[in-house]
Amino acid sequence: MPPGPPSRRPGANDPPLAVALKYDRKEDAAPRVVAKGGGEMAEAILALAREHGVEVREDRDLAQLLSTVELETQIPVEAFVAVAEILSYVYRNSRPDAAPAGP
């Protein structure tokens, strides 16, 4: 079988990529992908998130992985640790008495 195209790590010059997750502890076993897109769609997702005070974190590799997940589908096991760290950061910083955490 001939080799596929060479793999390429995402770079700074790549168009923006955004993935939005939703997690309800009472309803979801794991976070779900509820929006995703590249380029102008990514910009719209990010603008909407910021407009509504949603915490935005940059992680191109994680966004690349999550962008392969179908909408309304739970995140893959490979993403659990990274997403858990982000959710922990968001929850800590969303408390009114919380001091800002580091990156």
**Which pLDDT does position 6 carry in this prediction?**
45
Confidence class for position 103, pLDDT limits 50, 70, 90: low
Q: Are 36 and 73 in contact (CB under 8 A)?
A: no
Establish if 72 belongs to a structural domain.
yes
State the Cα–Cα distance between residues 95 and 54, nearest whole angstrom. 13
Confidence class for position 3, pLDDT limits 50, 70, 90: very low
Task: Indicate the DSSP class of residue 38.
Answer: E
Asked whether the predicted pLDDT for residue 101 surpasses 70, the reply is no
The closest alpha carbon to 91, from 73, 83, 58, belongs to: 83
Establish if 9 belongs to a structural domain.
no
Establish if 76 belongs to a structural domain.
yes
- According to DSSP, the residues that pair with 17 across neighbouring strands are 38
> CA torsion 9→45→83→102, rounded to 10°?
90
Establish if 12 belongs to a structural domain.
no
Q: How many domains does the chain have?
A: 1
Read off the pLDDT of residues 54-89 as tens digits, 9 standing for 90 and up.
Answer: 888 888 999 999 999 999 999 999 898 988 888 888
